[in-house]
C-alpha cells in the first residue's frame, strides 16, 4: 500500500531528511517540529499523514515492517528529493531505518546494533560478555523453560517480551504458582513482534528506583546529557506514572558512565539513546537500551529543563552535522500520566475552574473522553489505560512534584467500572 504527495513542481530541493514513522501527535509531534527546524523533511508513514503535513514537504505511505515495500517507498521519494539522512524515533522502525540509511549511503546506525537494541536478550548477552552491570536474564520459549529459568535466577523474577517497549507485557512474578499466568501475559504480547522479538525473557528482579539516562552519540563518542527519574505504578505491571527531568541532576555523574559503557558495548556509533536502569543497593544495573529518543515526552522534558533539544540533535546527527548540546536553561520539568482506578467507561474528565492556566502548566491533554473506554493491565496496556497526561515546569524537581500534585488534585475524573470490575 503506497500513496504519494508529490511536489508541485519538478525542481529538486537542496536536500531533505527522511523521517520513518512520525509517531502519534500527542507524544511525538514535538520531535517532528524540531526536526523540521533543522531540515526540510520527507516522511514514510504507516498511515496517511494529517497533522504531519504542517511539517513535511512530501510523503509516502508504506508498511515499515515490510522492508521491500519500505524500500520502494524510499526509492520514489529519492526520485523527487536528494535524501541527506534518515531518522526515526519509533522503536519498531529502528532496524528498517538502519537498512534504509545503508541503502542510501547516509549516516546511520548499523543494522546489527539496531537489532541488538531491539532484542533485549541479545543486548543482555553483550553486556554480560563485556562486564557491564545488568539484570541476569534468560530467554525462554515455553512455560517449562520459564520455570527452569526462574528457579535458576530465584524468585521474584520479571517476565517481559524480548523486543517490546513502554512496559508492555512486563510483569513481576513473586512465586512459582503465579508463573503460568505471567508467562501467558508476557508471551501474548511477544507474539506480534516477529523473529527479532520472539520469546520471553525471565529476568532477575532489580529492587530500587528506576531511572533513564538520555544520551547523544556522535562518531562513536557518547555524551550523557540528562537523567530522567521515573515514577512507577503498583507492581506487578510496572506502568509508568510519570517522569521528572532536572538540569544539573547530580546523579548524572554516577549513571552516565554506565550508560556510555552499555552503548559502547552494543557498538552504538550515532544517534540518540534512552538507557533504562535501576539504582540497586549494589549500584546502577541496566534494564534496557532504546536506540532512539525516549518516549512519553521525555525528550520534551529535557528541552524544557535544560534547553537541549534531542530531536534537533537527532536530525543533525542523521545529516552528518555536529549537534548542539549546550544547556541554555537550568530548571526542571515533569509529566504525569492519568490513570483511572479501574477499567470502564469515562464519565467525567476535566479540570476544575480553580486550576486556571498557571504559567507552570505546560499542557494538559485528555487522551480519553466521556463515553470512551479505558482498559487497564492485564487486559490492556499504556495504549488503552491512560486517561491523559499533563506537563509542568518548575525551578527544581521538588517544585515540579508540588505542581503535579496541585494540578492533579484539581482534576475531576470519574470512570464507571466495567461489569467485571464491580
pLDDT range class, residue 419, cuts 50, 70, 90: low
Which residue in 52, 12, 11 sits closest to 20, CA to CA?
52
Question: What architecture is domain 207-330?
Answer: 2-Layer Sandwich (3.30)
Domain positions in the chain:
4-106, 136-204, 207-330, 331-422
Domain 4-106, CATH 3.40.50.20 — does that match? yes
Domain 136-204, CATH 3.30.1490.20 — does that match? yes
- Predicted structure pTM score: 0.90
**CB of 243 closer than 8 Å to CB of 230:** yes
Asked which of 163-172, 315-324, 356-365, 401-410 is least confident by mean pLDDT, the reply is 163-172
Which residue in 238, 229, 234 sits closest to 161, CA to CA?
238
Q: For the chain, what is the mean pLDDT?
A: 91
Q: Which residue has the cell 541496566?
A: 286
**Which pLDDT value is given to residue 238?**
80
**237-295: per-residue pLDDT in tens?**
788 899 999 999 999 999 999 999 999 999 999 999 999 999 999 999 999 999 999 99
Distance CA 323, CA 18 (A): 18
Which residue in 403, 330, 397 sits closest to 362, CA to CA?
403
Inter-residue long-range contacts of 321-325, CB under 8 Å, 24+ positions, other chains counted: 322/218, 323/216, 323/218, 325/216, 325/223, 325/225
Cell numbers at 117, concatenated: 537494541
pLDDT, mean of residues 89-114 = 95
**62-86: per-residue pLDDT in tens?**
999 999 999 999 999 999 999 999 9
**Which pLDDT value is given to residue 166?**
52
- The yes-or-no answer to whether 4-106 and 331-422 have a common fold is no
Which residue in 25, 22, 27, 19 sits closest to 298, CA to CA?
27
pLDDT, mean of residues 90-103 = 96
Q: Please give, one letter per residue, the 3-state secondary structure of 216-252.
A: EEECCEEEEEEEEEEEECCCCCCCEEEEEEECCCCCH
Q: Class assignment of domain 331-422?
A: alpha beta
**Which pLDDT value is given to residue 12?**
44
Per-residue pLDDT at 61 exceeds 50: yes
Amino acid at each position: 500500500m503506497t500513496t504519494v504527495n508529490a511536489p508541485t513542481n519538478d525542481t529538486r530541493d537542496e536536500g531533505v531528511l527522511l523521517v520513518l514513522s512520525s509517531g502519534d501527535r500527542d507524544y511525538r509531534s514535538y520531535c517532528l517540529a524540531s526536526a523540521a527546524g533543522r531540515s526540510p523533511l520527507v516522511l514514510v508513514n504507516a498511515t496517511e499523514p494529517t497533522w504531519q503535513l504542517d511539517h513535511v514537504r512530501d510523503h509516502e505511505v508504506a508498511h515499515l515492517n515490510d522492508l521491500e515495500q519500505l524500500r520502494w517507498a524510499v526509492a520514489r521519494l529519492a526520485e523527487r528529493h536528494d535524501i541527506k539522512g534518515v531518522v526515526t524515533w519509533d522503536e519498531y522502525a529502528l532496524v528498517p531505518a538502519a537498512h534504509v540509511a545503508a541503502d542510501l549511503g547516509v549516516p546511520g546506525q548499523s543494522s546489527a546494533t539496531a537489532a541488538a537494541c531491539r532484542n533485549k536478550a541479545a543486548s543482555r548477552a553483550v553486556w554480560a560478555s563485556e562486564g557491564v552491570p545488568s539484570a541476569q536474564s534468560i530467554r525462554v520459549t515455553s512455560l517449562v523453560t520459564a520455570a527452569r529459568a526462574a528457579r535458576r535466577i530465584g524468585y521474584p523474577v520479571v517476565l517481559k517480551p524480548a523486543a517490546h517497549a513502554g512496559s508492555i507485557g512486563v510483569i513481576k512474578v513473586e512465586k512459582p504458582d503465579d508463573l503460568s499466568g505471567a508467562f501467558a501475559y508476557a508471551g501474548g504480547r511477544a507474539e506480534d513482534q516477529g523473529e527479532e522479538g520472539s520469546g520471553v525473557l525471565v529476568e532477575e528482579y532489580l529492587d530500587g528506583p528506576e531511572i533513564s539516562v538520555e544520551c547523544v552519540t556522535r562518531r562513536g563518542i557518547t555524551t550523557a546529557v540528562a537523567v530522567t527519574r521515573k515514577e512507577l505504578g503498583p507492581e506487578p505491571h510496572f506502568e509508568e506514572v510519570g517522569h521528572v527531568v532536572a538540569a544539573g541532576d547530580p546523579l548524572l555523574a554516577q549513571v552516565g558512565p554506565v550508560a556510555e559503557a552499555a552503548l559502547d558495548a552494543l557498538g552504538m556509533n550515532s544517534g540518540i539513546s534512552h538507557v533504562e536502569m535501576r539504582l540497586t543497593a549494589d549500584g546502577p544495573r541496566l534494564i534496557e537500551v532504546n536506540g532512539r529518543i525516549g518516549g512519553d515526552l521525555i525528550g520534551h522534558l529535557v528541552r524544557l529543563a535544560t534547553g537541549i533539544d534531542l530531536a534537533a540533535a537527532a536530525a543533525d546527527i542523521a545529516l552528518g552535522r555536529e549537534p548542539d548540546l549546550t544547556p541554555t536553561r537550568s530548571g526542571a520539568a515533569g509529566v504525569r500520566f492519568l490513570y483511572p482506578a479501574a477499567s470502564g467507561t469515562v464519565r467525567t474528565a476535566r479540570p476544575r475552574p480553580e486550576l486556571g492556566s498557571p504559567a507552570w502548566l505546560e499542557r494538559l491533554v485528555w487522551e480519553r473522553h466521556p463515553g470512551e473506554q479505558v482498559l487497564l493491565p492485564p487486559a490492556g496496556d499504556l495504549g488503552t489505560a491512560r486517561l491523559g497526561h499533563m506537563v509542568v515546569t518548575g525551578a527544581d524537581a521538588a517544585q515540579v512534584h508540588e505542581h503535579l500534585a496541585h494540578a492533579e488534585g484539581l482534576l475531576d475524573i470519574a470512570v464507571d467500572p466495567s461489569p467485571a470490575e464491580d
